[in-house]
Amino acid sequence: MEHLATVGIYALASGITILVGGILSRLDHFQDSLMKERILHAIIAFGGGVLIAAVAFVLTPQGIELLPIPYLAFFFLLGAFVFFWIDRQISRSSKPIAQLMAMLMDFIPEAIALGAVFAHDKNLGLLLAIFIGLQNLPEGFNSFKELVNKGISPNRALLILLPLSLIGVVGSCVGFILLHNQPTTIASLMLFAGGGIIYLTFQDIAPMSTMENHWSPALGASLGFLVGMLGQKLVG
């Protein structure tokens, strides 16, 4: 029971950054300027760098070690194609809530993997929780702005983000209870999430981060990946 509580705390800490990102976006009252645009693009790129680091250091190594090549390729590509299909459905929808789906597409499987991984490797679980929290911060920031741009009031947008911040607790507890003795299932799930995240990073995040004749966003991506390497070195 103690370990389950720890998993819940990790998941809460990694998910609450969605709401924190929304609050920071809510407090953004600075006038539009070139510097502000560069900072926002750098934040998006930083999140992309963290996502790539999560795939490289957390989500794929176990699958590479445990699964034969056909299964490895299947689950990774399955994640990419499922995320691609959902992304297409989102792009065809005009509903504001659709803007949040991209965030949940990677958060939910990662949260389940967090609980499952923690059961047999606490350090890896902590590292995954850090990665999830870092990537959720800019995603919460941008999701808030998208909701407000769709006509939703700022306070209601925060109320929408609040339960999404907590959903990872449920997913992590499910993963901890049901998957703790199934390493190949965990590896398959993480490969699935990794394939989808690579798709999302290059389809949505990387294009949003670029600015003509400015290089700070690309440096933000490098900084995000550096944070991932440092996390792997310190915790792994």
> Tell me, what's the pLDDT at 114?
85
> What is the pTM (predicted TM-score) of this model?
0.75
Ranges of each domain in the chain: 2-21+39-235
pLDDT at 75 (0 to 100): 92
CA geometry: angle at 204 spanning 198 and 210, to 5°? 110
As a whole number of angstroms, the distance between CA 169 and CA 166 comes to 6
Asked whether the beta carbons of 209 and 45 are under 8 A apart, the reply is yes
Whether residue 127 contacts residue 231, with contact meaning beta carbons closer than 8 Å, is answered with: yes
Tell me, what's the pLDDT at 204?
66
Residue 56 DSSP symbol: I
Query: Environment class of residue 228 by beta-carbon count within 10 Å: exposed (0-12), middle (13-18) or buried (19+)?
Result: buried
Taking the C-alpha atoms of residue 174 and residue 171, their distance in angstroms, rounded to an integer, is 5
Task: Show pLDDT as tens, one digit a residue, over the chain (236 residues).
Answer: 667 888 889 899 999 999 998 898 888 665 565 566 677 777 777 777 777 877 888 788 888 888 898 998 999 999 888 888 887 777 776 554 555 666 776 788 878 888 888 877 788 788 888 888 887 887 888 788 778 877 888 889 899 899 888 888 998 888 888 887 788 888 898 888 888 888 877 776 665 555 555 555 666 667 766 776 676 666 65
From residue 225, how far is each of 42, 61, 77, 114, 119 by CA, in Å?
Answer: 13, 16, 23, 20, 26
Q: In the prediction, which pLDDT does 96 show?
A: 47
What is the rounded CA–CA span in Å between residue 220 and residue 39?
Answer: 9
Quote the DSSP letter at residue 63: H
